[in-house]
């Protein structure tokens, strides 16, 4: 018997059919272990030891795999063919080895790039060991991201209230958006003019542009005003011209390679209007398979790849399809072989392509979203193996009789369309630089100007980033990995660091503030070159050329020192630096020569950044005498966005308009059409100003199906209700911490949260309802019980209002009462919990004759408050 482990149940079901009765295929449901979301999960002082935690649902799945291994001959780890897939196989094997479940079974690792019978059965013939170099690269990346997030984010929370988080790649992506906005704000518009003429040379009229005036070749800004442009226009109208030359240059346009993760995201954004996240979700479904004729078939190869190469079989099939459908003249002499140009490309995998090109888009009945993406992938693959387009570029030069004035006409003719018959790559700038088609023009012919025009133009700043152009820029700089781009861009939006306007990223003040802080105090870690160099080092780990812990030691030495240094700075010092850095943005020039930082209310105070419970704002230095405050720099129209209705766009699935509306009970989104329009209220942490169509559609799609509960198969739903975000199963509701998690929570996490709720522990389980692991006895100081409880962040000791963590690596069942009392005392010495002695000592001062009976009531209140304090503190640290 052979036991095969894959990630998803959909893959397990399909692969089981392919392999037959001699195989048992089980799903791990993604990652089975993760670093607990608390400080200390990665310990630099212990040579970066990492603490992994198996989630409750994952534990059941691993037990199922262990049970299936009893008497099995082989354990085949068949997770995805990338770094993450390698890591999942390693995690599964690590847990099974600890359970001593593998025993005499042979352990093999297989990978396949497509979920088809031929790909799977062929992969089974070529097993290998787990690639530990890839696992090391995963561990290094995971540790780096954890250390940056859990070390840098608390500094942000203390110094900049209202900031949500910082991340190793997320913060650099945010800096790109902010830097582009600053570039736009600093841009100085420059006026220039052009002169065009409609000309005939014994032919149909064609368009020509003035390129020489008064014997001088014109540059872009030579005609800088209307007077000069009018004079140049008059010179064109007065001159007589001859065709000085007609130059025809044959050219070829070669097809682009098949899709990588990055190019798929870019092209789907340009042509389909998909976000990166939406693209990857649809691609995942195409990869895992859809039902065709009663059988689940994977339609595309693996969608997380930097590779542009295709298998010889795929190339041969493409050439056959091209010859049959477009003719042999569209098939090049030999198949096109593409090579990855990126210097830091990940492990080489095939490009994204259809598993069978014989399944053309018109023959499949797919959901609209899947069908459009599949058609894009199919056409790109077909085009990549077609003949180049042959074009002819023509340039016509016209000279005046005195040689002082010159016109130029350009155009092109497509002699053979080649791959353009199927596909043309989208562009961010769709301007046609080659001009239109020209008539047949004879050299030496007399030419006559029929009409001339002088047109005014102004230079424009660089455009804001779209999803496509931001992904392209990140890839060019070597920042992050294509498989992470979708989640990075989603985090920036959901944390309100940016907002979308006409599918372009605009930084919010919160995002600019975070970026300014990091640039002032952690500049090295948001430098593009530094981040790209770190990615290159991670690739060296993948290649076995660099030890992963050596990389971590080098990074941590300087990073920890920097964090410690900034942590000692007073908040006023930080705000002064930010006032200077953000000055032009938060204190814009009034244009009248007056000081923009003078308080408009009292006239003597000086405006500066302040921080409060809900984030940063501008306040007066004369506070509290002067209470003037305002937002940092409210964008134009933000007030309207907060208080008025606006259309966000159309639902691509229904064609109905989606609106943001401000109602009596707060803001909500609404899809018009039908007798009862669909509506959804905005979560409290989603500001109306940051709402866009994608967010609205996500809200309107709720509740979301998370997956089938492993105990009874009932569907688990995630949604946002009257009491906030939740997951629900069979009448049990469990709260989630943020609205963002509603769209991200996986099956493992949902099952765990529901189990905690049913056990009575609720969300955090750090209270009286948490499950007791052990009763240690009475505390020697006051006789109250000391217990060890099971909490969300691991086992902990509880005594009255004080909680203390069980030391990492210590078995809670072996902990003694004496050890627990010592840990509780240490916790109280650090300010945790409530010290009973202090409370008792304070009461006699307040007591009066006759008040003795009320003392117990007074004692109970502080104790109850103290019990809640650690919970609030832990939640903030998350």
Q: Per-residue pLDDT tens for 695-749?
A: 899 899 999 999 998 888 889 999 988 778 999 998 888 888 888 889 888 888 8
Please determine, for residue 638, whether its predicted confidence score (pLDDT) is greater than 70. no
DSSP code per residue over 532-559: HHHHHHHHHHHTTSS-HHHHHHHHHHHH
Same domain, yes or no: 483 and 575: yes
In a domain, residue 767? The reply is no
**Cα–Cα dist 649/651, whole Å:** 7
Shared domain for 349 and 318, answered yes or no, is: yes
The pLDDT of residue 646 is 72
Tell me which of 146, 302, 330, 726 is the catalytic residue: 302
CB 350 within 8 Å of CB 302: yes
pLDDT surpassing 60 at residue 765? no
Write down the H helix ranges in 35-169.
56-68, 83-98, 117-124, 132-159
Give yes or no: residues 512 and 528 share one domain.
yes
The answer on 124 and 6 residing in a single domain is yes
Residue labelled with tokens 């790909």: 119
For residues 376 and 282, membership in a common domain is answered with yes
Residue 623, Cβ neighbours under 10 Å: how many? 14
- Is 376 a member of any domain? yes
Bridge partners of residue 341, in order along the sequence? none
pLDDT digits (tens, 9 = 90+) for 6-24: 988 878 888 888 898 889 9
The share of the chain scoring above pLDDT 90, in percent, equals 35
pTM for this structure? 0.65
| Residue 782 structural domain | 775-877
379 and 285, same structural domain?
yes
Residues 788 and 810 in one domain: yes
Q: Who wins on pLDDT, 166 or 753?
A: 753
Kindly list the distances between the CA atom of residue 349 and the CA atoms of 80, 86, 208, 299, 673, in Å, as whole numbers in the listed order.
11, 14, 49, 17, 46
Tell me the DSSP string of 199-224: EESSSS-EEEEEEEETTEE--TTSS-
Q: Are 499 and 510 spatial neighbours (Cβ–Cβ below 8 Å)?
A: no
If pLDDT is split at 50, 70 and 90, which confidence band does 234 have?
Answer: very high
Contact of 773 with 790, CB cutoff 8 Å: yes
Residue 393 has pLDDT above 70, yes or no: yes
pLDDT tens for residues 299-328? 999 888 888 889 888 999 999 999 999 999
Residue-averaged pLDDT of the chain: 83
User: Within 10 A of 313 (CB to CB), how many other CB atoms are there?
Assistant: 9
Task: Name the band, by pLDDT with cuts 50, 70 and 90, for residue 163.
Answer: low
Residue 431's pLDDT is what? 42
For residues 289 and 374, state if they share a domain.
Answer: yes
Tell me which residue has tokens 């088809």.
Answer: 116
3-state secondary structure of 246: strand
Asked whether residue 591 is assigned to any structural domain, the reply reads no
8-state DSSP, 403: S
Which residues are 732's β-sheet partners?
Answer: 729
- Shared domain for 268 and 371, answered yes or no, is yes
Q: How many domains does the chain have?
A: 8
| Three-class DSSP labels, 91-129 | HHHHHHHHCCCCCCCEEEECCCCCCCHHHHHHHHCCCEC
Q: Is 733 a catalytic residue?
A: no
Q: Write the pLDDT tens digit of every residue in 597-607.
A: 898 888 888 88
CB atoms within 10 A of CB 446: 12
Between 660 and 418, where is the model more confident? 418
Indicate the pLDDT class of residue 341, thresholds 50, 70 and 90. low
Q: In whole angstroms, what is the distance from residue 457 CA to residue 196 CA?
A: 13
- For residue 502, being part of any structural domain is answered with yes
Q: What is the tens place of the pLDDT at every residue in 67-79?
A: 999 888 999 999 9
Q: Using alpha carbons only, give the angle 353, 359, 360 rounded to the nearest 5 degrees.
A: 85
Q: Which two tokens stand for residue 539?
A: 């690739």
- Classify residue 708: in a domain, yes or no: yes
- Quote the crossing angle between the two packed helices 117-124 and 9-19, to the nearest 10°: 80
Q: pLDDT per residue over 799-814, tens digit each?
A: 887 888 888 767 777 7
CB-based contact 195:406 (threshold 8 Å): no
Q: Is the pLDDT of residue 761 over 50?
A: no
Lowest-pLDDT range of 467-481, 523-537, 764-778? 764-778
**Highest mean pLDDT, choosing among 148-157, 433-442, 518-527:** 518-527
Asked if the model's pLDDT at residue 858 lies above 60, the reply is no
pLDDT tens, residue by residue, 344-370: 444 457 899 999 999 989 888 888 899
Question: Band of the pLDDT at 412, cuts 50, 70, 90?
Answer: confident
Largest CA distance in the chain: 120
- Say if 683 falls within a structural domain: yes
Q: Which residue has the tokens 């996490």?
A: 749
| Span of 255-269, 531-545, 757-771, 793-807 with lowest mean pLDDT | 757-771
Same domain, 448 and 471: no
Q: How confident is the model at residue 210 (pLDDT cuts 50, 70, 90)?
A: very high
pLDDT, tens only, 20-38? 888 999 988 878 898 887 7
pLDDT classification of 583: cutoffs 50, 70, 90: confident
Within this chain, do residues 623 and 651 fall inside the same structural domain, yes or no? Answer: no
CATH of the domain at 564: 1.10.460.10
764 falls within a domain = no
pLDDT digits (tens, 9 = 90+) for 85-103: 899 999 999 999 998 998 8
Give the model's pLDDT for residue 173. 92
The encoded tokens of residue 631 equal 């937002």
Q: What is the pLDDT of residues 118-143, one digit of tens each?
A: 889 989 999 999 999 999 999 999 99
Q: If you count them, how many residues does the chain have? A: 878
Least confident of 53-57, 144-148, 259-263, 559-563: 53-57
DSSP letter for each residue of 730-792: TTEEEE-S-HHHHHH--HHHHHHHHHHHHHT-TTT--STTSEEEEEEEE-TTT--EEEEEEET
As a whole number, mean pLDDT of residues 432-461 equals 86
* Short-list 282, 354, 303, CA closest to 85: 303
Report yes or no on 770 lying in a domain. no
825 & 791 share domain: yes
Q: Per-residue DSSP letters for 18-83?
A: HH-TTEEEEE--S-SEE--SSTTSEEGGGTTEE--EE-HHHHHHHHHHHHHTTT-SEEEE---SSH
């Amino acid at each position: 018997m052979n036991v095969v482990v894959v990630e998803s149940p959909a893959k397990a079901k399909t692969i089981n059919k392919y392999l037959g009765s001699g195989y048992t295929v089980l799903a791990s449901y993604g990652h089975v272990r993760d670093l607990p979301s608390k400080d200390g999960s990665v310990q630099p002082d212990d040579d970066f030891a990492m603490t992994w935690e198996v989630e409750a649902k994952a534990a059941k799945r691993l037990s199922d795999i262990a049970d299936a291994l009893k008497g099995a001959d082989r354990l085949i780890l068949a997770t995805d063919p990338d770094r993450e897939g390698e890591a999942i196989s390693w995690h599964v094997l690590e847990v099974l080895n600890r359970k001593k479940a593998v025993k005499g079974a042979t352990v093999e690792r297989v990978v396949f790039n497509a979920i088809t019978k031929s790909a799977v059965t062929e992969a089974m013939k070529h097993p290998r060991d787990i690639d530990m170099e890839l696992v090391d690269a995963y561990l290094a990346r995971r540790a780096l991201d954890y250390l940056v997030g859990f070390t840098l984010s608390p500094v942000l929370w203390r110094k900049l209230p209202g900031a949500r988080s910082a991340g190793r790649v997320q913060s650099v992506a945010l800096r790109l958006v902010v830097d582009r906005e600053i570039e736009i704000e600093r841009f100085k518009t420059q006026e220039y003019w052009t002169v065009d003429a409609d000309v005939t040379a014994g032919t149909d009229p064609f368009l020509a542009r003035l390129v020489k005036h008064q014997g001088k070749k014109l540059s872009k800004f030579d005609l800088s005003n209307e007077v000069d442009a009018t004079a140049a226009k008059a010179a064109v109208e007065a001159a007589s011209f001859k065709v000085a030359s007609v130059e025809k240059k044959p050219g070829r346009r070669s097809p682009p390679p098949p899709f990588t993760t990055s190019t798929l995201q870019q092209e789907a954004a340009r042509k389909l209007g998909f976000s990166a996240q939406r693209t990857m979700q649809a691609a995942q479904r195409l990869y895992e398979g859809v039902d065709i004729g009663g059988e689940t078939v994977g339609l595309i190869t693996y969608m997380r790849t930097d590779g542009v190469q295709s298998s010889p079989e795929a190339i041969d099939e493409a050439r056959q399809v091209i010859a049959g459908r477009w003719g042999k003249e569209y098939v090049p002499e030999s198949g096109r072989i593409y090579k990855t140009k990126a210097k830091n490309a990940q492990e080489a995998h095939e490009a994204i392509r259809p598993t069978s090109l014989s399944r053309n888009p018109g023959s499949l009945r797919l959901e609209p979203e899947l069908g459009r993406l599949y058609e894009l992938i199919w056409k790109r693959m077909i085009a990549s193996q077609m003949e180049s387009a042959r074009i002819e570029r023509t340039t016509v030069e016209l000279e005046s009789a005195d040689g002082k004035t010159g016109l130029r006409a350009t155009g092109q003719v497509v002699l053979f369309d080649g791959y353009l018959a199927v596909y043309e790559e989208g562009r961010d700038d769709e301007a046609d630089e080659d001009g239109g088609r020209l008539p047949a023009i004879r050299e030496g012919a007399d030419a006559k100007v029929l009409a001339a025009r002088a047109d005014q133009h102004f230079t424009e700043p660089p455009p804001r980033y779209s999803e496509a152009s931001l992904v392209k820029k990140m890839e060019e700089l070597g920042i992050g990995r294509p498989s992470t781009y979708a989640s990075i861009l989603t985090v920036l939006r959901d944390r309100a660091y940016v907002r979308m306007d006409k599918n372009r990223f605009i930084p919010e003040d919160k995002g600019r503030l975070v970026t300014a802080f990091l640039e002032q105090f952690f500049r090295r870690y948001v430098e593009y070159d530094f981040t790209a160099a770190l990615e290159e080092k991670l690739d060296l780990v993948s290649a076995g050329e660099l030890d992963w812990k050596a990389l971590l030691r080098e990074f941590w030495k300087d990073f920890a020192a920097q964090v410690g240094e900034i942590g000692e700075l007073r908040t006023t010092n930080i705000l002064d630096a930010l006032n200077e850095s953000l000055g032009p943005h938060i204190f814009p020039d009034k244009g009248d020569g007056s000081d923009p930082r003078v308080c408009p209310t009292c006239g003597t105070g000086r405006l500066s950044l302040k921080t409060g419970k809900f984030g940063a704002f501008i306040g007066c230095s004369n506070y509290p005498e002067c209470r003037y405050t305002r937002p940092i720099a409210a964008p134009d129209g933000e007030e309207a966005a907060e208080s008025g209705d606006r259309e966000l766009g159309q639902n691509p699935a229904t064609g109905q308009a989606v609106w943001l509306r401000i109602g009596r009970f707060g803001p909500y989104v609404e899809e018009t059409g039908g007798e009862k329009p669909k509506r959804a209220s905005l979560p409290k942490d989603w500001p109306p100003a940051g709402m866009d169509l994608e967010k609205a559609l996500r809200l309107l799609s709720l509740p979301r199906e998370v997956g089938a509960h492993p105990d009874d198969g009932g569907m688990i739903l995630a949604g946002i209700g009257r009491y906030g975000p939740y997951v629900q199963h069979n009448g049990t509701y469990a709260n989630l911490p943020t609205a963002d998690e509603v769209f991200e929570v996986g099956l493992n996490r949902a099952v765990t949260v529901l189990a905690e709720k049913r056990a009575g522990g609720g969300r955090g389980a750090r209270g009286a309802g948490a499950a007791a692991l052990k009763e240690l006895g009475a505390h020697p100081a006051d006789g109250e019980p000391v217990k060890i409880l099971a909490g969300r962040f691991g086992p902990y000791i509880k005594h009255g209002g004080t909680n203390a963590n069980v030391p990492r690596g210590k078995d809670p069942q072996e902990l003694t009462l004496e050890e627990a009392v010592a840990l509780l005392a240490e916790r109280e010495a650090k300010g945790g919990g409530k010290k009973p002695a202090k409370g008792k000592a304070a009461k006699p001062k307040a007591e009066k004759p006759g008040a003795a009976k009320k003392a117990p009531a007074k004692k109970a209140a502080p104790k109850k408050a103290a019990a809640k304090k650690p919970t609030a503190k832990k939640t903030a640290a998350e």
